[in-house]
Amino acid sequence: MTRKFTYVALALVLFCSLGAFAQAATPAAAAGSGTKIGIINVEEAIVSSNEGQRDFAAMMAKYKAPNDELQAKSKELEDLRNQLKTQSNVLSDEKRAEIAGSIQEKEKNAQRFFDDNQAKVQKEQGEIANRIGQKLLKVIDVYAKNNGYSVILDVSAPQSPVLWANAQGGVVITKEIVDAYNAQSGVPAQPKPAAGAGAGPRPGTSAPKPAGTAAPKPAGTTTAPK
């Protein structure tokens, strides 16, 4: 069975912590104490900020050439597989073995190329998220103090105690924090791509990857369809 590769832009991993604001409190416990609760999705705030949109778009543009090369490798492999499948009856044993060996070698090269670029994408996404996240914490600190919040809960944190939250138990402040961050960063709103223009995948979305062996995927990646 032919396996299709999927070029995966890894989901953002936020390395900073909001523990100082969450104070290990659950929404129910905080609400019972009469404190003012703020709810934020830090991952969403990072990606939707002007700076985040600019830097992630620049990163994806930087990896367009490797992605195009990956698609070319995938097309070459697909052509060889089709040749082996459709001409198998007329090819000599020697020629079939030659094509099969070429497919195997190209699959290994494509997988290595994918793994190398995937690692680079993961590292760069983490660096961008960490840099913006650290500055975002300062904005949250000022906003929380100025608006009388006792607890700010991040619903996007992997280890967050928040399983579910809405404005009834607290005020969602993601947009307000993004607006405050944009004002402080000085980065202008990013232009929207023209209708029909290829803007490229956003962080966390999928794009084509060349096919081959089923190598194990790091946590946070999307499993390629078989």
Give the tens place of pLDDT for each residue, 120-153.
999 999 999 999 999 999 999 999 999 999 888 8
pLDDT at 161 (0 to 100): 63
Confidence of residue 81 (pLDDT cuts 50, 70, 90): very high
pLDDT at 7 > cutoff 70: no
DSSP the chain: -PPPEEEE-PPP---S--HHHHTT--HHHHHHTT--EEEE-HHHHHHHSHHHHHHHHHHHHHTHHHHHHHHHHHHHHHHHHHHHHHSTTTS-HHHHHHHHHHHHHHHHHHHHHHHHHHHHHHHHHHHHHHHHHHHHHHHHHHHHHHTT-SEEEETT-TT-S-S---TTTSEE-HHHHHHHHHHHH-PPPPPPPPTT----PPTT-EEEE-----PPPPTTPPPPP-
